[in-house]
Structure 1
Amino acid sequence: MEFFEAVEKRYSYRGEFTNAPMPREDLIKIVTAGTKAPSAGNLQTQSFLVVTDAGVRAEIAEIFPHKGVATAPALILLVSEHQELGPMKVSFELKDYGAAAENILLAIAALGYASVWTDGETGMTPERQEKLSALLGIPEGRAVRAVLPVGVPKTPGRQPPRKPFDDLVKFEKYS
């Protein structure tokens, strides 16, 4: 799939997935896209944990209840490490992980799969963070920022309508 077609086809899938397995080669392509995302100062504070084991996925779904997480054949956890850059000690970890997440979501769409960025509605609470870290051996100083369920959707969808281009994009001046 061509890049701009993937952008058009990417949507947030909140439903259940089929039990079609995810080929390891596709998962490698998907997370490789995440590793190629921009990173402030090239610190590369983002990392990724791919979980395909059914038992571990079930335990994650207990901690992080979401029907996509419960039914996806693969989960990609986006993990970030707090690092500070420059004399002002600014952390860009959230920007780094956000850029990586978008690359991953576009790669998922390009390969014909579906996903959703889960960290909002169900929330990555401190309690969930601790449980996920204990279950998955996440090192201290790193935090799970999102869980992306990946697979073939039971009910494919499409991107919802967007606001008109001219409402969102201005050239030269905002007015």
Structure 2
Amino acid sequence: MASDIDPAAADRLLTTTRAVRRRLDLERPVDRSLLLECIGVAQQAPTAGNGQTWSFVVVTDARKRARIAELYRAAATTLFEAARARARETGDEQTAKAYDGALHLAGVLDRVPVHVLPCIRGRIPDGSWSNAAAAGMYGSILPAAWSFMLAARARGLGTAWTSIHLLKEREVAEVLGIPEGVTQTALIPVAHYTGEGFSPAARPPAETVTHWDGWSG
């Protein structure tokens, strides 16, 4: 039976959903209906044991966004500046440019109209969970978060996956009233994007990262 999905359209969505840090429209609001559509798409993602224990905290309040941005910068600035310096020392300008963008985003995060925090109910006790249990927990929210970002891209919204705020997770939880038994997994800034569309990034051939029937090379 032939697929009912246009592979070219699907591939274009998957390969052009980029981290948007500089081209976010900081002035144009995002309709709540668009965000709910994206979350509805995200809810179709798989979860371990069909648990469906996800939640999405959507932050539009300006004061809360300002406080989150303050915490984000406290966690990110020094680390990002050091990583950028290391990249430039080794001549890795592509990575240095990425950290330039990350620092730019940190500087304007309070002005990004929407912050979305994908969360999942449950916590990993320090050092006491197996890799399988941790993979099941994070595997029950990260696919949904990526589906949210794909759905946003299809609706003309730019996003970026960030997680550095987790160094201040407890403080962010206090700002948003997130209970202790809930784990934040990312902070996704969301806005309409400016300029034209996006192109696929340069990546090595698939053959260079593929291992057939076992690990080799």
* Shorter-chain TM band: 0.7 to 0.9
Residues 83 and 54 of structure 1, relative CA distance in 2, 3 Å threshold: closer
Name stretches of at least 5 consecutive residues in structure 2 with no aligned partner. 1-5, 74-105, 125-129
> What corresponds to 1:118 in structure 2?
162
Partner Cα distance (1:161, 1:135) in 2: 39
Pairing 1:161–2:202 present: yes
Tell me the amino acid that sits aligned with residue 153 of structure 2.
A
> What corresponds to 2:116 in structure 1?
76
Counting only pairs closer than 5 Å after superposition, residues 14-53 of structure 1 correspond to structure 2 as: 14-15=21-22, 17-18=24-25, 19-53=27-61
Partner Cα distance (1:164, 1:96) in 2: 29
Partner Cα distance (2:108, 2:159) in 1: 8
- After TM superposition, give the deviation of residue 167 of structure 1 in Å: 2.2
Partner Cα distance (2:186, 2:206) in 1: 29
Name stretches of at least 5 consecutive residues in structure 1 with no aligned partner. none
Pairing 1:3–2:43 present: no
The answer on whether the counterparts of 1:14 and 1:68 sit within 8 Å (CA) in structure 2 is no
- TM-score, structure 2 length as denominator? 0.67
Partner Cα distance (2:14, 2:107) in 1: 24
Per-residue Cα deviation, 1:5-34 (whole angstroms, up to 9, x for no partner): 211220011225221110111101111122
Percent identity reads 27
Deviates more, 1:152-161 or 1:48-57: 152-161
Partner Cα distance (1:138, 1:151) in 2: 23
Residues 140 and 8 of structure 1, relative CA distance in 2, 3 Å threshold: same
Per-residue Cα deviation, 1:82-112 (whole angstroms, up to 9, x for no partner): 279xxx9934221112111211111111112
Pairing 1:137–2:180 present: no
Residues 160 and 70 of structure 1, relative CA distance in 2, 3 Å threshold: farther
One of 139, 142, 145 as aligned partner of 1:95: 139
SS of the residue aligned with 1:63? helix
Pairing 1:105–2:149 present: yes
Task: Say how many residue pairs are matched.
Answer: 168
The answer on whether the counterparts of 2:123 and 2:182 sit within 8 Å (CA) in structure 1 is no
Partner Cα distance (2:145, 2:194) in 1: 23
Residues 40 and 68 of structure 1, relative CA distance in 2, 3 Å threshold: farther
Partner Cα distance (1:162, 1:14) in 2: 20
The answer on whether the counterparts of 1:13 and 1:114 sit within 8 Å (CA) in structure 2 is yes
SS of the residue aligned with 1:151? strand
Tell me the amino acid that sits aligned with residue 6 of structure 1.
L
Let me know the Cα RMSD of the aligned residues.
Answer: 2.6
Tell me the amino acid that sits aligned with residue 40 of structure 1.
A
Determine which structure has the larger helix proportion and give its number.
2
Tell me the amino acid that sits aligned with residue 39 of structure 1.
T
